[in-house]
Amino acid sequence: MKILICVKQVIDSQAPVTIDESGKWVKYGDSSPFRMNRYDEFAIEEALRIKETLNDVSVDAISVGPPRVSSTVRKAMEMGAEKGIHILTEGDFFITPFEVASTIASYVQTNNYALILTGAMSEDDMNSQVGQVIAEILNRPCATLVMHQEIREDKKEVYVEREIEGGKRECLNLQLPAVLTIQSGINIPRYPSLSNVLRARKAQILTIEATAMNIPAKREHLVALSYPEVSSRGTFIEGSQREKAKELVSILHEKSLI
């Protein structure tokens, strides 16, 4: 049984990001810190737990993006993935969820995976679309926001519980091959062991040019980026409690709020 984990590289949320000269993408600094999308760490951990529970299971990790993305693929291998696949794109630009899903689906079509796992969303775009689109392209059953999964012993079916509104869960039985998007909180991602880190450093990552993949024509184009508008600033009222209360009432009267 082969499992494929889809991972994404994101910039650290604390890092400064500016819009480039074209106004159509962002500009990163030379030392901008990139790391693995945290939601994908839960998907990796879940795949490794399946491997530890069942016999004859292999786990691969795949990512789409520019050369720097290879470090995130290697990170997945340090956590326990046996093989890393990097679909290399030319340059650093906006890639839609459809393009990412189409690229990964193109690779899967020539490689037999019983289960594809993704994080519930990415920290940067938060589109929550890649897993579902992969399933649609490959015509496979899909469950999103999975909080529990069990592969049946015959490896032909997976039982899942997905998070829904009101703190409830929806229970499903899906025929394999299938696609699951893993919700945060399903497990606690492990730290890479020294043996896996040493193995990952020596391992060769399979790099495939995105132009060599069978990908549909681009359907969406990023028109422009802009900074959010500055909201109105609050007013600080100075003085004693009595003076503050009097001033506040005056302001509320002035704005016809009371």
pLDDT per residue over 111-156, tens digit each? 989 999 999 999 988 999 999 999 999 999 999 999 999 998 888 9
- Please name each of the domains of the chain with its CATH number: 2-212 (3.40.50.620)
Give the mean pLDDT of 90-99.
86
Q: End-to-end distance of the chain based on CA atoms, in angstroms?
A: 67
As given in the structure block, the two tokens for residue 120 are: 């519930």
pLDDT of residue 21: 83
- Check if the beta carbon of residue 42 is closer than 8 Å to that of residue 74: no
DSSP code of residue 196: H
Q: How high is the mean pLDDT of the chain? A: 91
Residues 6+ apart with CB under 8 A from 243: 237
* DSSP class per residue in 85-144: EEEE-SSS----HHHHHHHHHHHHTTS--SEEEEES--TTT----HHHHHHHHHT--EEE
What Rg do the C-alpha atoms of the chain give, in angstroms?
Answer: 23
Answer whether residue 254 shows pLDDT above 90: no
More confident residue, 252 or 145: 145
Q: CA 183 to CA 178: how far, in whole Å?
A: 16
Give the mean pLDDT of 23-31.
77
Answer whether residue 91 shows pLDDT above 80: no
Q: pLDDT digit string (tens) for 163-212?
A: 998 889 999 999 999 999 999 999 999 999 999 999 999 999 999 999 88
Beginning with the edge strand found earlier in the chain, give each strand of the sheet holding 115-119 in spatial order.
169-175, 157-163, 142-151, 178-182, 115-119, 2-6, 58-65, 83-88, 206-209
CB atoms inside a 10 Å sphere around CB 114: 16
Closest CA to 39 of 114, 119, 108, 150: 119
pLDDT of residue 155: 86
Closest CA to 216 of 53, 135, 104, 67: 104
CB atoms inside a 10 Å sphere around CB 140: 19
pLDDT of residue 45: 97
